[in-house]
Amino acid sequence: MVSLKEEIEELKRQKNAVVLAHYYVDDDVQAVADYVGDSYYLAKVAVGLKESTIVFAGVKFMGESAKILNPDKTVLMPDPDADCPMAHMAEIEKIEAVRREYDDVAVVCYINSTAELKMHSDVCVTSANAMKIVKALPNKNIYFIPDENLGRYIATKVNDKNFIFNDGFCHVHKAITADDIKRTKKHHPNAKVLIHPECTLDVLSLADYIGSTSGIIDYATNSDSEEFIISTELGVLYELKKKNPNKRFFIVQDRQICPNMKKVTLEKVRDCLLHETGIVNVGEEKRNRSLVPLKKMLELAN
């Protein structure tokens, strides 16, 4: 009997397709992907692929960004309902009001955002490049959308700018508390604490390392330590364990799961390729305008 994995491999060949997956999707989906990474890596990889079809195993803003960067390619989402709630947590009216109030403001938009929000922004960032990009901007005033936690973390590292925050958040990372970290650390006192910057500042203050999903994986892989407390979505454990079979990883609570990332299943990857469903469409005006901050991110982060 042909396995789902074999079916997907055959469909990839037939359809000239490539699968990109974020570290938060299920292990078996990561296992069939041609490229697995954090949001920055996946946005970079999406540019310049030779295949004509990209299957994006992730949430909507990721597939949308891939389409905006590659208008001539077919981008398929295995589950078009997999959407990041934070991507919607900012308002165009508020952006316009901030622009009226601060004439030199740069609207810095976390890539976890809708194309509409990107259209009204100056530059996109991910957790892997936000610090570098914000520092490189000539603007004194920074309006950081939609994630308040990432914005506040960057502000602690960039002292010569004035930050205006928005109240968006990732419900998965916001649910992790300082007590969760302290309790886990008590049980594993020698473990290094690795935290994603979508967590709140009081949680981040307990970290040995703060970074994107790739940053967390690289830190654990390159570290001499053997034990790590992981404060981000549990999907990263697949790559962490694959790269570090002899190291030990501890989670901080049992709700470190993004329900939207988990909507992407192996069956849905097969079905979207087989039936060519979940096609991402972005209208021309929206594409042209949201391409500007995405391209600026790729230039400034490089």
Q: Rule CB under 6 A: which residues touch ligand 13P? A: 23, 38-40, 84, 112, 126-128, 170, 196, 198, 212-213
For the CB of residue 39, give the shortest distance to ligand SF4 in the complex, in Å.
8
C-beta closer to ligand 13P: residue 84 or 234: 84
Q: Does 233 bind ligand SF4 (CB under 6 A)?
A: yes
The b/e string for 127-138 (b: 16+ C-beta within 10 A; e otherwise) is bbbbbebbeebe
Q: Is 57 in the site for ligand SF4 (CB under 6 A)?
A: no
212 binds, among ligand SF4, ligand 13P, none (CB under 5 to 8 A by kind): ligand 13P
Contact mark string toward ligand SF4, 94..133, x via CB under 6 A: ------------------x---------------------
Closer by beta carbon to ligand 13P, 105 or else 128: 128
Give the ranges where the chain is alpha helix by DSSP (H).
Answer: 4-15, 27-32, 39-46, 60-69, 92-101, 115-119, 130-136, 148-157, 171-174, 178-187, 201-204, 213-222, 236-243, 266-275, 284-301
Closer residue to ligand SF4, CB minimum distance, 261 or 291: 261
Which of the choices ligand 13P, ligand SF4, none does residue 200 contact, using the CB cut-off of 5 to 8 A by kind?
A: none
Instruction: Name which of 39 and 231 has its Cβ closer to ligand 13P.
Output: 39
Instruction: Give the shortest CB-129-to-ligand SF4 separation in angstroms.
Output: 16
Rule CB under 6 A: say whether 43 interacts with ligand SF4.
no
CA distance linking residue 147 with residue 141, whole number of Å: 17
85 binds, among ligand SF4, ligand 13P, none (CB under 5 to 8 A by kind): ligand SF4
CB of 113 to ligand SF4, least distance (A): 10
Question: With binding defined as CB under 6 A, does residue 85 bind ligand SF4?
Answer: yes
CB 78 within 8 A of CB 272: yes
- Of residues 114 and 126, the one with the C-beta less far from ligand 13P: 126
Question: Minimal distance in Å, beta carbon 84 to ligand SF4?
Answer: 3
**Cis preceding-peptide flag for 85 (omega within 30 of 0):** no
Q: How far is the CB of 18 from ligand 13P (least distance, A)?
A: 19
Q: Which C-beta is closer to ligand SF4: that of 168 or that of 293?
A: 168
Give me 9's structure tokens: 């491999």
Crossing angle of helices 60-69 and 39-46, in 10° steps, is 30
Long-range contacts, 44-50 (Cβ 8 Å, 24+):
44/298, 45/20, 46/20, 46/70, 47/298, 49/18, 49/73
**∠223-226-227 over CA atoms, to 5°?**
105
For residue 217, count other CB atoms closer than 10 A to its CB: 26
Burial tier of 177 (Cβ tally within 10 Å: 0-12, 13-18, 19+): middle
Residues forming contacts to ligand SF4 in the complex (CB under 6 A) are: 24, 59, 84-86, 112, 170-172, 198, 233, 258, 260-261
